[in-house]
Amino acid sequence: MQNVFALPQANVSNFFYKRKLNVYHLTGHCSISKQSYGVLWPETLSGHTGNDIASSLSVLLQNVLQDHSEEKEVTIWSNSCVPQNKNEVVSTAIMLLLKKSQQLTIIT
């Protein structure tokens, strides 16, 4: 998960304190094709709770699997950010994706 982007951006100091729109971005990288994947959403659509991260990760993995239909195993590496990784919501989302996918057999 990248830092929260406050948009629009400007160098004018008064503008900095006005209300901005926060935009969230989850990025993934596929080591097979060296392709990057990203999920981008504004705070008006959703926040960055465990549910939001789990949904984004699920969408990201579905796109990777769609592009690499021959793959049966996926290994996920991530940092140790608690809302992203160390919660039951993300674990459950990964388990449901594994259960729902017909091509995927292992997620490490």
Euclidean distance between CA atoms 11 and 17, whole angstroms = 11
CB 27 within 8 A of CB 53: no
Euclidean distance between CA atoms 1 and 47, whole angstroms = 13
Q: Which residues pair with 39 in a beta bridge?
A: 26
pLDDT at 21: 78
* pTM of this structure: 0.77
pLDDT at 34: 92
Give pLDDT tens digits along the chain (108 positions).
566 766 666 666 666 666 677 888 888 899 989 999 999 998 888 888 888 888 998 999 999 999 998 989 988 887 766 555 557 888 888 899 999 988 889 888
Euclidean distance between CA atoms 19 and 7, whole angstroms = 9
